[in-house]
């Protein structure tokens, strides 16, 4: 009963001012039990994630707040500590550094801050971490393009200058053509994971 009271109180507090644009985060309720939530965070300005809205699946365990919530990104993202395939997160406060005094609000704030301060030495996605450490400019542009493709609304995209992405888009169409109409998402992933080398992306495509 104590657990229910705790999460219920947290949700009531957040719902009093649950405005994404004003607070940089918000929550959506999935069911009446408050055991499953969707969190949303805004990408931090002056980072590859700016103007993006990232959705996070949050499951509240039975022993909360003595165990951390189970979180994963539903919005695809290019980040060393978040799996580009599954959305799994490698963040210490969601594991051994969790404390019962933490809240869902503090988790969302930490995840937003985490976007702009990756820990490539403790990656969830080794391919992204390698790109981050060896070619930061390519990492920044790839993360920016993933944000454009997956985390922006249609209205946001309308006012976005896509000239920076022209080479990426040309390579995606090249891969799609060579694979006889492969999906944009699969082509984007193959190229991103192979440093935007078309030949390597096509080779990896044929191996899966």
CATH number, domain at 90? 3.10.110.10
**Are residue 89 and residue 139 in the same domain, yes or no?**
no
Q: Is the peptide bond before 162 cis (omega within 30 degrees of 0)?
A: no
If you ran DSSP here, which 8-state letter would residue 152 be given?
S
Residue of 26, 71, 90, 149 marked active site: 90
Contacts 24+ apart (CB under 8 A), 65-71: 65/3, 65/6, 65/7, 65/100, 65/101, 65/102, 65/103, 66/100, 67/98, 68/93, 68/94, 68/95, 68/98, 68/102, 68/107, 69/94, 69/104, 69/107, 70/94, 71/39, 71/107, 71/111
143 is in which domain, residue-wise? 126-206
**Are residue 45 and residue 97 in the same domain, yes or no?**
yes
**Are residue 38 and residue 138 in the same domain, yes or no?**
no
pLDDT for res 1:
41
Q: What count of other Cβ atoms lies within 10 Å of the Cβ of residue 94?
A: 18
**Are residue 144 and residue 48 in the same domain, yes or no?**
no
**Are residue 89 and residue 176 in the same domain, yes or no?**
no
174 belongs to the catalytic site: no
Domain-located, residue 181: yes
**Are residue 86 and residue 166 in the same domain, yes or no?**
no
**Are residue 141 and residue 200 in the same domain, yes or no?**
yes
Domain-located, residue 120: no
Dihedral sign (CA 180, 186, 188, 190)? negative
Instruction: Take residue 78 and report the two structure tokens written for it.
Output: 């290019």
pLDDT per residue rounded down to tens, the chain (208 residues): 445 788 999 999 999 999 999 999 999 998 777 889 999 999 999 999 999 999 999 999 989 999 999 999 999 999 999 999 999 999 999 999 999 999 999 999 999 999 999 999 999 999 999 999 999 999 999 999 999 999 999 998 988 888 989 999 999 999 999 999 899 999 999 999 999 999 999 999 987 6
**Are residue 105 and residue 13 in the same domain, yes or no?**
yes
pTM, two decimal places:
0.94
**Are residue 111 and residue 140 in the same domain, yes or no?**
no
H/E element, 40:
strand 36-42
């Amino acid at each position: 009963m104590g657990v229910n009271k705790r999460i219920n109180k947290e949700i009531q507090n957040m719902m009093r001012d649950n405005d994404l644009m004003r607070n940089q985060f918000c929550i959506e309720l999935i069911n009446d039990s408050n055991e499953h939530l969707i969190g949303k965070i805004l990408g931090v300005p002056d980072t590859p994630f700016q103007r993006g809205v990232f959705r996070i699946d949050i499951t509240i365990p039975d022993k909360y707040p003595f165990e951390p919530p189970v979180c994963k990104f539903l919005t695809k993202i290019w980040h060393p500590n978040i799996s580009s395939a599954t959305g799994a997160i490698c963040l210490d406060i969601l594991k051994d550094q969790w404390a019962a005094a933490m809240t869902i609000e503090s988790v969302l704030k930490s995840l937003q801050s985490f976007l702009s301060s990756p820990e490539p030495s403790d990656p969830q996605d080794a391919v992204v971490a390698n790109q981050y450490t060896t070619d930061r400019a390519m990492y920044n542009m790839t993360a920016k393009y993933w944000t454009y493709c997956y985390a922006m609304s249609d209205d946001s995209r309308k006012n976005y200058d896509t000239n920076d992405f022209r080479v990426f888009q040309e390579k995606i169409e090249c891969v799609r053509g060579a694979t006889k109409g492969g999906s944009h998402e699969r082509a984007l992933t193959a190229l991103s994971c192979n440093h935007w080398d078309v030949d390597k992306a096509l080779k990896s495509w044929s191996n899966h």
